[in-house]
Amino acid sequence: MELRFYGATGTTTGSCHLIRSEGRSVLLDCGLFQGRREESRKRNERFGFDPQTIDAVVLSHAHIDHSGKLPMLTRQGFAGQVHATRASRDLCAVLLADSAHIQLQDAEFMNRQRWRAARERGEAPPGRHLPRHEVQPLYLEEDVQELMPRMRSHEYGAWFEPLPGMRFRFRDAGHILGSAWVEAEIREKHGLSRLVFTGDYGRFHQPILRDPEPLSEADVLISESTYGNRKHPPFQDLEGELRAAVERLEKRGRGRLLIPAFAVGRTQNILYDFARLCRAGSCPNVRFVVDSPLATAATRIVYEHPECFDAEALAQYRTLQEENSFRSRLVFTHSVEESKALNDDPRPTVLISASGMMESGRILHHLAWNVSSPEAEILIVGYQAEHTLGRRLLEGASEVRIFGMMHRVRARVTPMLGFSAHADRDELLAALVPVAGRARALFLVHGENDQRAPLAEELRRSGFQRVEMPEGPERYRVP
């Protein structure tokens, strides 16, 4: 068997790993690189392999950095099937359509920028004609429609055989709805090899989802390492902090608690915590609004997949059908008009909106409206990459630029960064070390080098005989 890593090597996006064995080629994930527009574009433009040579894709979960290039794969001639859990397939339908829309916007933006630069050099023709087709979107919504019927869904734990002699099954990863780690058995002339791919390995005691299942023994392991050198605070503390922020809003009796949140996962976890608060009898006297079409769609999908819930979420799901102390305070906006109307509503409101790093989406309008108000509080509940508005607020900027206008920051900014859906260092070690015995090789992907290198050291000390940190698509023969 031969492995090559086409993304998430020394970074946390672009997950895409190729297994080749006796003429069969299977991709594990097919994700987009995410980051600065121009750089991402360059890295996303090519696959590094011929999509027509891929026989099947096995998808760990729906996050765009794992699934976002699937429509491009189809567009460029991939003719096989994509295998995923049922919930991942449903999430992909909305996330990939949204991604197609972003690809189009990005291409238009880059075309405008190029045109402006050409005009400054005196090279563009006079007038307002844009060179429309200079940068093409990576894919279009019709490519997503072409892809979706080829997505095959599978239950957790059920083996499936996408190619003769190669069988796979999904196991609970506890990361987001539908997420899985992947177990594979690959039959070759000289015998059977087992492979385990962690995908994004989640956390114990996460709201809604079942805990990650312990990894199986395997000859070859591919593991994520996002937080290979960091320790998260426990979830219980975070729930207390969330409650305290809502109580501050209730006490003020006006203003906003703004929560910029990723549409999938974080939004639903926060809603779940609020629902739990109400169920425990301490429902605060404020309104809860989700103002993001994508988050609303994702919340509906979560609701449609109770087969992914843990026991507590299942019980809560059943009571939610009957009582409505939280639901009567919860509003999902749909139109832009409804979103704008929120600005004129004086009631104290918890407002959850995307994007999580405050770079796009409706949250920007709410920030522009509220960031200078001492009656507003901004809760930062997710990772904020460099050069984002979220990062500047997190670092205590006294002024920020939103839609080209400078705003004084008078709102309270509260960081709550422990909500991560990735296992931390100790959780990764607890998952990996027990399977060190059989492993002939372990590949660390999906982590910056300052996270995966210390983890690699620790894993070698803990009994792994071969730990690799792929830098690019070099070829590895295993086991």
Residues near Zn ion, by CB under 5 A: 63, 200
d(CA 479, CA 196): 12
Report the residue number, 431 or 439, with the smaller CB distance to Zn ion: 431
Report the residue number, 350 or 421, with the smaller CB distance to Zn ion: 421
Q: Nearest approach, Cβ of 422 to Zn ion (angstroms)? A: 7
State both tokens at 145.
């429609």
Report the residue number, 13 or 333, with the smaller CB distance to Zn ion: 13
Q: Which residues fall within 8 angstroms of residue 119, CB to CB, at 6 or more apart?
A: none
Q: What's the angle, vertex CA 81, arms to CA 76 and CA 85, rounded to 5?
A: 125
Q: Nearest approach, Cβ of 340 to Zn ion (angstroms)? A: 32
Residue type, 14: G
CB-count burial class (<10 Å; 0-12, 13-18, 19+) for 76: middle
Q: Nearest approach, Cβ of 199 to Zn ion (angstroms)? A: 7
Report the residue number, 106 or 200, with the smaller CB distance to Zn ion: 200
Report the residue number, 175 or 425, with the smaller CB distance to Zn ion: 175
Report the residue number, 235 or 332, with the smaller CB distance to Zn ion: 235
Q: Nearest approach, Cβ of 397 to Zn ion (angstroms)? A: 28
Select from 220, 174, 228 the least CA-distant residue to 200.
Answer: 174
* Helical segments of 289-410, H only: 293-303, 311-322, 336-341, 363-370, 389-394
Q: Nearest approach, Cβ of 126 to Zn ion (angstroms)? A: 48
Helical packing angle, 449-461 and 425-432, nearest 10°: 40
d(CA 441, CA 470): 12
Q: Nearest approach, Cβ of 190 to Zn ion (angstroms)? A: 35
Report the residue number, 1 or 264, with the smaller CB distance to Zn ion: 264
- The edge-to-edge listing of strands for the beta sheet with 81-85 is 151-154, 81-85, 56-58, 24-28, 17-21, 2-5, 476-477
Q: Nearest approach, Cβ of 200 to Zn ion (angstroms)? A: 4
